[in-house]
Amino acid sequence: MTSTRNKVIVFIILILVLMPFWAHNSSDTIEPKRITNEFIGYYQSNTCEISLLEVYAKNIGNKNNISYNNNYYAGTECFGKVTGLDKVGDRFIVSIGTNTSLLFLLQSITWLLVLLLITPKNKKNVSLKFATFFLTVLFTFQHISEARFYERLNIYYKKFSLDIVDNYHFLGTFFIYLFIFLVIDDLLSKREEVLINYLPFSFLFVFTLGGMNINFYLILFSYLGLKNILKSRNSFIFNSIYLVFSFVWIATANREQNSFFDTDKLRGFINSSNNQSSLIFWIIVFFLLMNGLMYLYKTSNIDIFKIKTNFLVTGFLLFVFGTLGSTSPLFNFFNNHFFGQNKRGISNLTSIEGNTWRGFSASAESLGEFYGFVIVFFVILYIKHKIPLPKYEKFMLLFVIIGLYRTNNFAVMSSLLLIIFIFFVEYSLSSRKYKTIIYSIGLGIFFLGAYYIVHNLNYEYLSTQLLYEASLHSNFFTYTDNYGKTLQIETLFNEERIYYLINIIGGDSISSSLRTLSEIYYQKFNLPLVPNFVAILSTISLLINRSEMWGIFFAKYSPNTFEAMFGYGPNQLNGYLYNQQVRLDVPLNKITGLYLPHSSLLDILVFFGIIGFLLGIIFIINTLLYKSENGEYKYLLIFLLINILKSDSMLYINSLILLAISFQLVRTKKIIKYE
Amino acid sequence: MNIDPLKIDEICGENSTGVEYVDPGNDPNFVFAKDVNFEVLPLYDVDGSVINVNSWFECAHYVTGGWSNSLIIEYFEGDKFVFFLALSLSVIYSLYTYRSKKVVQ
């Protein structure tokens, strides 16, 4: 019965995904042509007539470099059809109309059908009924608060006014959200106990709505979050603290600079606009997201077999679809459309500059962490719970390992080996004596290595490298070019006149964080044997190859006192990206690139400030030391925490969900089903 | 440029001159000869600009370039379409859930 139902759902999904890109007027005389230089004009003059699949079928075997891009701005009459053809270099770029409003509806229906594939398990069905109306209004409000984002990507976008009756764009958006929440209310309340077992798929089904700055998981978790608040399952401490933070964010928010962030690969989980209303929107949505995760923590029943299989299937499919998308432009297009990627998958099989292959994912780092997480998870289940691997799972695990290798994520690989080794020692060796010997040797090697590095690289160099990098990217010596700036900074660093450079020459033109770092580095009091904080940070940044990126971070990060203490607010990067004027010392072709902090800890610092950062640390320590119910999964959590130290993974909602699963596994008091 | 004989016939009428239409290209010195037997016909482009054509050949040329004898521009009101689709889906789904709950009760 379930199998037949699922087959019908899959069939409907296929129709919904493919049909809009096949539908065309077969009675007209406008035929698709082979894509060559000769027919560029043909495709430019015959717009909205030829469907994507028609063009693709006509160009099978065409050796030209062709890619299919979305044109979100086009009207609904052009949906699924060619809206233009351009040649950039040797690449032919075919624009396919995917109107944002219609795409929103189609993708939402498709993904709701995907959720319908989860077999319902809940005994009682608690519905939110009319409270969903609030969520509908909230999410529609984003189209007003982030007008600058949406008006670029939808021909139907009309500025909000009191004359709402004529504004079909807003009315349409409102009713799409209403429809989504009506279905979610019915669908999710029957599945919330088992939902966690399917969350590994969040790495495959990224669920970022095309042409929109919203992720479908935010919609789902907002619903659960509202349920958590309304059904008195709320966490009083968290909500009270968040309320204080929210007050500070709204009351002290500095929104003088009218900056706009195009969201890039963070689309769906970041604020694009630097204004008060969008700040309020993201404050509420993040609050609901956190409550949603708490609700899931309280209601979920983990089925270890199911979650294990789903992790493996996801890892395997990520590799398969990543490879397909890399080799076929059509798959590349449909991967983006069906799975809701926030950034197009990589379009060739070779690595970027011999470095990483991110395949399906927007970030090679977060993908590597996912693969590593799956491997650690399997090791834990195999060693601690003696859960064997069937043959097909071994086969899929092989692809996960290949996937990890291709991401070339050294940090993940080395931490993976370390964590597996420690776990093996802890759970396979019973003798305390052997364990002590092994750990002593390990610590000995660590300290010897540290001594070797400090001895060879020189303490002065190690401790000031971060300040040096930050200075290189700051707005010093504006009368000269970057080369001249570098020479002058180098001279002053060699003369150990760093304080003079940063505080006297730099003065107010450099970031407040860089000034603070230099003040800490040159603090008047000195605790014997305790290394300077900046020196430690600088050494760590060098050892994990982050000195340049963190240098850029400190050059850009210039909060005032309130922003330093409480942050800019959740998902607010505008202040960090645009408030401080910098002069990046990078090659010209990279100067306009997106420079994220390259550490989730720094991301947290930007969003929630020093107080939020410290509260987060307290929560982690509390979890690891006092709230751990299932000790073996602490290794998973530690593995992730080590890796997010040098990656921006927390800016991606699926990585945040992965972290939430780890916390859940460690903290849950419910019996985890192992059979 | 895509020549659509059916569309040309539909807008410009039958070709009584016997001269077949060929694209004159981008020759700036090309002049369309006036056909006294051809009734002057106004054509419009998508922006609403108007031009009077004086021969079947000239008419065919402008029609091929996207001009039309009708000012009624085919404009599909996609925002209304999406709105009514979403509204219908919401109403149908609400009625469906309401009915299913009644059946269960």
Distance to chain A for B32, nearest Cα, Å: 24
Cβ-based contacts of A183 with chain B (< 8 Å): 93
Q: Which uninterrupted H or E stretch holds A440? A: helix A432-457
Regions of chain A short of the pLDDT cut 50:
353-354
Q: What count of other Cβ atoms lies within 10 Å of the Cβ of residue A429?
A: 12
Distance to chain A for B9, nearest Cα, Å: 15
The CA-atom distances, in angstroms, between A490 and each of A468, B19, B43 are: 8, 79, 71
Cβ-based contacts of A29 with chain B (< 8 Å): 2, 4, 6
Distance to chain B for A342, nearest Cα, Å: 23
Q: Which of B4, B81, B94 sits opposite A182 (nearest CB)?
A: B94
From CA A114, how far away is CA A103, in angstroms rounded? 16
Burial of A519 (0-12, 13-18, 19+ CB in 10 A): middle
Answer yes or no: do A172 and B6 touch at CB < 8 A. no
Q: Which uninterrupted H or E stretch holds A85? A: strand A82-88
Look up tokens 């979050």; give the residue.
A225
User: CB-hemisphere CA count at 13 Å for A54?
Assistant: 20
Q: Is B101 on the interface with A (CB under 8 A)?
A: no
The pLDDT value given to residue B44: 79
Q: Which of B78, B87, B97 sits opposite A75 (nearest CB)?
A: B78
Answer yes or no: do A29 and B90 touch at CB < 8 A. no
Answer yes or no: do B4 and A183 touch at CB < 8 A. no
Q: Dump the DSSP string for A522-573.
A: T-S---TT---HHHHHHHHHHHTT-HHHHHHHHHH----HHHHHH-S-TT--
Q: CA of A187: which chain B residue's CA is closest?
A: B97
Answer yes or no: do A172 and B1 touch at CB < 8 A. no
Q: CA of B1: which chain A residue's CA is closest?
A: A42
CB-based contact A571:A269 (threshold 8 Å) = yes
Cβ-based contacts of B78 with chain A (< 8 Å): 75-77, 99, 101-102, 155-156
Burial of A68 (0-12, 13-18, 19+ CB in 10 A): buried
From CA A605, how far away is CA A644, in angstroms rounded? 13
Question: How many whole angstroms from its chain centre is CA B78?
Answer: 17
Q: What are phi and psi of A508, to 5 degrees?
A: -85, -5
Q: Is B3 on the interface with A (CB under 8 A)?
A: no
Domain boundaries, chain B: 5-64, 77-105
Residues on chain A bordering chain B, Cβ-to-Cβ distance under 8 angstroms: 29-30, 41-42, 45-46, 75-77, 99, 101-102, 105, 155-156, 168-169, 171-172, 175-176, 178-179, 182-183, 186
Q: Name the band, by pLDDT with cuts 50, 70 and 90, for residue B10.
A: confident
The pLDDT value given to residue A69: 94
The pLDDT value given to residue A511: 94
Which residue(s) pair with A95 in the sheet?
A69, A84
The pLDDT value given to residue B18: 75
The pLDDT value given to residue A595: 92
The pLDDT value given to residue A360: 85
Q: Which uninterrupted H or E stretch holds A117? A: none
Q: Is B96 on the interface with A (CB under 8 A)?
A: no
CB-based contact A559:A512 (threshold 8 Å) = yes
Answer yes or no: do B78 and A175 touch at CB < 8 A. no
Q: Is B25 on the interface with A (CB under 8 A)?
A: no
* Tally of residues, chain B: 105
Look up tokens 């003369």; give the residue.
A495
Q: Which of A29, A168, A186 sits opposite B79 (nearest CB)?
A: A168
Q: Which of A178, A187, A209, A212 to mutate to test the interface with B (most CBs of B within 10 A)?
A: A178
The pLDDT value given to residue A459: 84
Look up tokens 């003696």; give the residue.
A386
The pLDDT value given to residue A355: 55
Q: Is B79 on the interface with A (CB under 8 A)?
A: yes
Q: What count of other Cβ atoms lies within 10 Å of the Cβ of residue A63?
A: 6
Name B52's Cβ contacts closer than 8 Å, sequence gap at least 6: B40, B41, B42, B43
Q: Which of B66, B79, B97 sits opposite A169 (nearest CB)?
A: B79
The three-class DSSP label of residue A356 is: strand
Distance to chain B for A191, nearest Cα, Å: 17
Distance to chain B for A37, nearest Cα, Å: 14
The pLDDT value given to residue A675: 58
Q: Which of B82, B93, B97 sits opposite A76 (nearest CB)?
A: B82
pLDDT of B73 above 70: no
Q: Name the band, by pLDDT with cuts 50, 70 and 90, for residue B74.
A: low
Q: Which of B79, B94, B97 sits opposite A172 (nearest CB)?
A: B79
The three-class DSSP label of residue A273 is: strand
Answer yes or no: do A99 and B81 touch at CB < 8 A. no
Q: Which of A104, A179, A212 to mutate to test the interface with B (most CBs of B within 10 A)?
A: A179
Q: Pick the closest to residue A269 from A654, A664, A595 (CA basis).
A: A654
Answer yes or no: do A179 and B97 touch at CB < 8 A. no
